[in-house]
Amino acid sequence: MTAVPGARRVSWLDEATATLAEAGVPSPRVDAELLAADVLGRPRPLDTARDPGPEYWGLVRRRAAREPLQHLLGRAWFRHLEVEVGPGVFVPRPETEVVTQAAIDEAQRCVDIGRRPVVVDLGTGSGVIALSVASEVPGSVVHAVEVDEQAWSWAVRNCAGHPVHLHRADLRACCPELDGDVDVVVSNPPYIPPDAVPVDPEVSRYDPPLALYGGGDDGLDAARAVVARAGRLLREGGLLVMEHAERQSEDVRGLLGSPWREVTPHRDLARRPRFVTARRTAAS
């Protein structure tokens, strides 16, 4: 066939991008580049003249089938961290970074007034929230709680060598030795109602149900458990920071009656209601 003068040659990267775009992958070009960089062991930008080979195309097919990019790479990025993730653990989301920032700010406030902050992350999953606080507020005492065996194994792997105290326990009854001594309780609990199955295949097929569905008709049973446990863990004036779905803001605020004050809703970077903070009053 005679080449058309001036026609642009389709590169392997263009072909991979088109394959992912046809499959509905939200960021096809970026994903195609990241997979190639991983296979080739080179940073972007990439040389598009040389096909990466069969290993790469195998990964492209798996991504086109909507297997999460983070599972294929074996890692995820969160704030300044890179953590290991895979089957059995919730893949951290960018919106949780602002939730984590609130916990970091409160821990730093404790440092600024001369107190070594004690922070508890309830339902830590991969460990990203606990690790972020421990690394960004040096000297803080950080505890991370996880009950699920698979998620626990990822947290152990990610927290190895870092100043995070791990507890394999149900968040409803964890760490009784810390009752009344904690400055910050932070949590991204499961909160999806049973009738709200996520649309994205990466979520519905691959994120563990235990990390998605919060229990109860409204999806807030896990949030209720966090509020109850935080009420016992926190010292007077201690701060609860808890993520929720955007449509749950009013319902979550309704969970925070006595002994809570300064109940404040917050938005994420997309201006969607994303989390709540509240301070513990004196025991009632």
Query: In the predicted model, what is the mean pLDDT of residues 38-46?
Result: 79
Domain limits, the chain:
12-65, 90-280
Q: What's the pLDDT band for 283 if we cut at 50, 70, 90?
A: low
Tokens of 184: 């910050």
Model pTM score = 0.91
Confidence of residue 71 (pLDDT cuts 50, 70, 90): very high
The string of pLDDT tens digits covering residues 81-116 is 999 999 999 999 999 999 999 999 999 999 999 999
Q: What is the mean pLDDT of residues 142-150?
A: 97
Tokens of 206: 């691959």
Distance CA 220, CA 254 (A): 11
Domain 90-280 is in which class?
alpha beta
Q: What is the pLDDT of residue 8?
A: 53
